[in-house]
Every structure is written in C-alpha cells, then in structure tokens.
A and B are shown apart, each in its own frame.
Chain A
Amino acid sequence: MSNDHHHEENFIQKYVFSVDHKIIGLQYGITSLLFLLFGFMLMMLMRYQIAYPETVIPYFGEWLFAGSGGVMLPENYNTLGAMHGTIMIFLGVVPLAVGAFGNYLVPLQIGAPDMAFPKLNAASYWSYFVGGVVMMASFFTPEGAARSGWTSYPPLSIFESGQTMWLLGMVFLITSSLLGSMNIIVTIVQLRAPGLTWFRLPFFIWAQLVTSFLLILAFPPLESAAILQLMDRLVGTSFFLPSGLVYAGSPVEAYGSGSPLLWQHLFWFLAHPEVYVLILPAIGIVGEIIANNTRKPLWGYKSLVYAIGFLGFMSFIVWAHHMFLTGMGQSMSAFFQLTTMIISIPSVVVLTAFFISLWGGSIRFNTPMLFALSFLPMFGIGGLTGLPLGVAASDIFLHDTYYVIGHFHYVVAPGTIFALFAGIYYWFPKVTGKRMSETLGKLHFWPSLLFMNGVFMPMFIQGLAGLSRRMYDGGQQYAHASDVLHWNEFMTISAFCLGAAQIPFIVNLIISLAGQKSDDRNPWKSTTIEWSAPSPPLPHVNFDSSVEVNHGPYEYSVPGQDEDYCPQTSP
C-alpha cells in the first residue's frame, strides 16, 4: 500500500513543503542539529577568549573581528554569550526534543497515521525556520546580534543594539512552539490507536504531553513580554524603565514609572517551565531506552507519570528563585525556597525509578544505552548542585558565578543532549531502516563523557571561589579569583576536545546512511508500537496494517512467554 489516495508529489512537495509528520520531524531534526553545532562553535570562540584573553583568535580572528585586528572585544563576547544561550535553547534543544522527536515519534508511538493537523505542523516548522533566519540574520546587520544575555534583562536590553531582531525572532519561535505543542496535545488525546488507553501510553508520550502543556501555558507570557519590550525599544514607552534612570552619563528621556522587575517576572514565568521543557523529553527518551535495554518493565511506571505531571504543575510556582537578588522580601523568598525544594522531589522520583529499573536486569550496553545510562549521574549532578541555588542564603553568594553555569549545563549538556544522542542512536534504524555503527558510537560516547566533565566540573570550583560568569577576560581583573583561573585553560582544551569527539558521530551518520538497508523492523526487540511499522514508516499512513493495542508499554521478560518481549500490538 503506497500513496493510494494521494496524487503524485514532486520533490518540493515531498521534501520541502511536506505535511507528513516524518518529513517535518526530520526537517526539525536536521535544522536543530545544525543550530546546535553553530551554538557550540560560538561557545568555542568564547572559551578561547576566556583562556587566552586579548590575544588574536587564530585562523578566524582576522575574519570575524576585523575591526579590532582579530582580538575579541567585550561587546563581541557579550554577543556570543547571548546568542549561544538563545541558539542552544530556542533553536537547538527545544526544536530537537519537541519538534523533531515529538513530531516523528508521537504519531508512531500511538499508532496514528499522522499528526492531527498536518498543515499546522508544517506552519510550525516554517515559523521556526523564519525565526532561525531572523536570529542568524541579526549577526549581519549593522547593529549586530543581541548582546544582553539570553535573559534580556532591561533596562540594559532597551538600550543595547541588536535586541530588536532578537525579539522579532523570538516572536516567530514562540509561535512555532505554540503551534507544535497544540498539535502534539490534540494528537495524543485524539489519535491514540484503538486499545491504547492512557496507562498503556509509553512514558515518552507522557513526557511529550506534559512538555506541550508547559509550552502552551508558559510561552505566551514571554510573547507578551517581548511585545512590551519591542514597544519600549521602538515606540518609546517605558514599561521596563524606572523613573530617574541615567544611561551612559545622561538622564534617559522617557516617561519612567515602569519596572525592570516586571520583565523578570514575565520572563522567568516562561523560563523556569522552559527548563522542564528541556529535560522532560530527555527523561522520556531515557525511560524508553532503559526499559528496552534492561529487558525489564520500567520500574514504577505510574509513579513516573504522576511525578512528571506534578513536576509540570510545580514548575509554574518556582520561578522567582531566579530572582532572590532583586530585593525580594522574606515571605516571598521563603515561599519560593519551599516550592523549589518540593519540586526536587519528583525529579528524584524519576531518577530513583530509573536506577531501580536497572536492578537485576540483563543490561545490553549498546550505544543508546550508554548515553542513557550516563544521563542518570550527569542529570543527578546537575540536579543536586541546583539545591544550593534554590536556597536564598547560598544563592546570594553563588548567584551569577560559574557555579550556576556548571549547574545548568550539567542538566542540559551531558543531561538532555546525551539523552537526545541516545534517542538518535536508538531510533535511527526506524527512521532509515539502517543501523548505526556501534564502534563509532562508542568512540563518540566515551570521549564525549570524559570531556563534558572536563568542561563543566571545574566550573563548580571556580564558582565556589566567587568567579563571576560574565567576565569577557575570564576574570583576570579580579584578585580573589586568581587561584582558580588556571582552570580556564584546562576547560578550554576540554571544550575543543569535546568538539573533536563529535566527529565520529557525524561520520557515523554519513556512513550509516550510505549503508545496507535491513528488513528487520524491530532490531532492538522493543515493545512499543512504532517498531511494528515498516522502516522507514510509509509516507502519510505510517503503518501497513491496522493497529490494535492489547498490551501495556513495557511487557519485557513476561514469565511463561517464548520471547523476552511482548509488543503492544501482538494479540
């Protein structure tokens, strides 16, 4: 059965303006991987500057920073910092986790022919694409790209150049996320295959559902905040400008009576749930891979579902722990310390359930499993180092130091990105019908794990010593930091090695794509529904026979059965 009820599609309809969720998922995947690479390169420039400040950047310096003879100026550093954060979060990880994995896998895992609104799905991708183009174009405008940090705190962001393009880009990116998550929710609620009841849904689907709700409810306030900031920049309003402000030595001509605090509230109302948007799909992917490779049911599946539901709800009332230094009073800070401690409980439930899942399993140490396993301690380090930041007393010292950078990078880089790598290795056979090389995969994994820690572990040391995260010269002007500055060079070398460690992955992708196609639909012997579809799944319909679900998501090693797995679709 091929395209029975579809007219012949030409190349452009099929691969560019496609409405097939699989093509859109791949478009999302390729675009966001390229953005991840680009964001990584920005980081390498920054790391070089931190380790060897005020020297000419080799090879690229003359070309990138022509005006200053190849030396990176403070404002260049600020631009790189702001755009690294923006690109990694809004153009890299979220589109990869929700756009690519969500789009590709949600319909397959619930046995649906496509997303509920295919055209809206395409609109979501193209809105993301336009947002990405606007962000990239901002580098080439006379003003340059944004340089007020990814948080864009006013009043600075009202006066700094490049911010307008950033805000416009964000409006497109937010629209894209809203369309995408709306689609995912409707798809999960409405298009589940017959027999696929709520508690037969794979854990990944639950993670995507909670993520989509977070996006729907948390993203629009940032859109309104972006509109207000655009008004401040373009029309001359003063929503975020307090009275009596002096900028660059002269009083600011504005009505005043606005409040920079308002931006922080609106921004963090999004940006804290956004942290869970980054981590939840990763948790979902890790859950799938652990259950499959331990050949055991996921331990505490229902508790996991309730935990991430609770996590999603709690993420709306913890945001002000980013704002302990705004002169917040005692009752407010007590409330947010309490909620922050509470929200760590479901995260611990998730990690505990995953660790117990490993107990007594006959674990297969293939590449996806290695990445998934390393996610657990890495995310653990990231989570535990977050606790001191959730307590006002210690946060006042640690705020804006490298400790914070280390903390959230442990969550996002060796946490989420490792989980996404695991997902790519795991589902590659479904997407292409080919296998990725295990040798190259391990060559990718072990150095990545090593150098990832090499980059981020010393940040805790530097942060505890009080080194501010925003120094373009790596903190050389601060005497109290001089004892920890020698780590800068070590971290920079680790970062470049980490970059080199990604080469086996790229090579692996290319070699595997050129490899032999296999007829095996289910190489990992997995239970979930996507593995009963052909590889790659058929255009627009996915499955070659009707899907009916009779089993729970993780029926591995059921006693008394011939095989150690029982697919959800088997009778």
Chain B
Amino acid sequence: MSNIPYILEERPDTGLNNSKLGVWIFLASEVMLFGGLFSAYVFLRIAAPEGDFGYWGSKLNVPMATFNTLLLITSSVTMVMSWASLKLEQFDKYKMYLGITILCGLAFLVVKYFEYTSKFDHGIYPSSSTFMGIYFTLTGLHVLHIIGGLLVLIFFWSKQSDKMWNEDKDLLANRIEITGLYWHFVDLVWIFLFPILYLL
C-alpha cells in the first residue's frame, strides 16, 4: 500500500523504518521459540541420569558439524557482503555474493542430510534417547529455518531482483538487509547449537 508511511525512510522520532522494527520483533519471538527448546534441553539434561546426555552426545559427528559451522559463517559474511555491494551499487557482485550464500546454505543441508541418514543407518532415531530426541528436534527446527531462508534468498537471487534493481534500488537494499538479519539470526542459533549439542 503506497499510502503507508515509513516503509523505507526512517521515522524521525523513532529512527526506524517499519520493516526493520518488524523483523527485530519477529527475531525476538524466534529467540523465545528456540529459547523454549534450549530451556527444555537444559532441564532434561539435568533431570536425566548422570552421563546419559554425554554418552549419546559422543555419538554425533563433530568434524561434519564443524564443517557446517564454517559453511554457515561463510554464508553469513557473504550475505552481509551482498548487502554492502548493493549499497556500493555493484549489482553483479551482489548476485555473486548472494549466490555463494545460497550455495553454502544448500551445502549445509546436504551435510545435514548425510548426518541424519548415517544416524538412521546405525539405528539411531529420535526415540533412541532423550538426547537424540532433543538433538533431532532442535536441529530439525533449525533446518526448517534454513530452508525458509533459502527460499527467500533464491527469490531475491532470481530475475525478480533485476526487476527490483531497475525499479527501486532502495527497496531492494532494504529487503536484502531484512533478509540478512534473519539469515544471521539462523547462523547465530547454530553458533549456540553447535557447542551444546556436539561438544558438551
């Protein structure tokens, strides 16, 4: 709706535009969503028999997860670089960086697929133990967030972005900034998931 103010420009007294405030509020609710599961993880770990979580946790594949961590960190930096390229009016670089981000995200999913299937091959399922249950729940929800993010990124990598670039450069930069905030958040969740699930 064109008559809604402050879609792109900042409202003087709050210093924010609508979408930026909106996405931060959304991320606050996401913090509480993952926060509920984190809280459940800690609660269950303390309630479980001594050493139960540690024993099952040692069955996870740390090298694969380390590689995945590096993939997500890379995707985060290329995401912010693609935004910076838009600000510098370098549209080709924007597409390249965004492409790398998408590839990293897809690679993350592939690694995750092999991780999951190797667990299933060894007869380990979410029902095998409480740790495995919370592991599959947390990483599964995280994977869903990655998939959602990838869909949005692919949309902005498609021909649609050329159209937006020609019509409204600021709008595209704003949308990429907002998408970036979400994508960094997904990275941030993984940064905490990685140690508590794999390393402890």
**A binding-site residues for B, Cβ under 8 Å:** 5, 19, 112-114, 116-118, 120, 178, 182-183, 185-186, 189-191, 216-225, 227-228, 231, 235-239, 254-259, 262, 265-266, 269, 540-541
Contacts and interface: CB of A to CB of B under 8 A. Distances in A.
B132 to A, nearest CB: 8
A218 B25 CA distance: 13
A257 B47 contact: yes
A258 B41 CA distance: 10
B22 interface: yes
Given A182-B26, A262-B44, A221 B1 contact: no
A225 B4 contact: no
B3 A540 contact: yes
A23 to B, nearest CB: 13
B56 to A, nearest CB: 10
**Size category of the binding interface on chain B:** 35 or more
A239 B133 contact: yes
B128 interface: yes
A235 B16 CA distance: 44
Nearest to B38: A224
Contacts of A257: 44, 47-49, 52, 129-130
A185 B45 CA distance: 36
A191 B6 contact: yes
Contacts of B134: 237, 239
Contact of B29 (A5, A114, A182, A540): A182
B141 A118 contact: no
A190 B16 contact: yes
Nearest to B2: A5
Contacts of B21: 185-186, 189-190
Contacts of B91: none
A334 to B, nearest CB: 21
B33 A266 contact: no
Given A117-B22, A191-B6, A221 B44 contact: no
B35 interface: yes
8 contacts: A113-B4, A178-B29, A190-B14, A190-B17, A191-B18, A220-B35, A231-B136, A235-B126
Contacts of B40: 224-225, 228, 239, 262, 266
A216 B35 CA distance: 13
Given A117-B18, A182-B29, A228-B137, 4 more contacts: A178-B29, A182-B26, A190-B17, A220-B33
Nearest to A6: B1
Given A186-B25, A266-B40, A231 B3 contact: no
Nearest to B6: A190
B3 A541 contact: yes
Contacts of A262: 40, 43-44, 47
B29 A190 contact: no
Q: Which of B3, B4, B136 has the most chain A CB atoms closer than 10 A to its own CB?
A: B4
Nearest to B35: A221
B11 A190 contact: yes
B127 A238 contact: yes
B37 interface: yes
A258 B130 contact: yes
Contact of A227 (B28, B30, B141): B141
Q: Which of B25, B37, B44, B127 has the most chain A CB atoms closer than 10 A to its own CB?
A: B25
A239 B44 contact: yes
Q: Which of B3, B5, B29, B30 has the most chain A CB atoms closer than 10 A to its own CB?
A: B29
A237 B126 contact: yes
A178 B30 CA distance: 10
Contacts of A19: 1
B28 A216 contact: yes
Contacts of B43: 259, 262, 265
B1 A540 contact: yes
A256 B130 CA distance: 7
7 tightest Cβ-Cβ pairs between the two chains A and B: A224-B36, A237-B133, A236-B127, A221-B36, A220-B33, A220-B32, A116-B18
A191 B133 CA distance: 44
A220 B30 contact: yes
Nearest to A187: B18
Contacts of A182: 22, 25-26, 29
B36 to A, nearest CB: 3
A343 to B, nearest CB: 20
Contacts of B133: 231, 235, 237-239, 255
A220 B25 CA distance: 12
B39 interface: yes
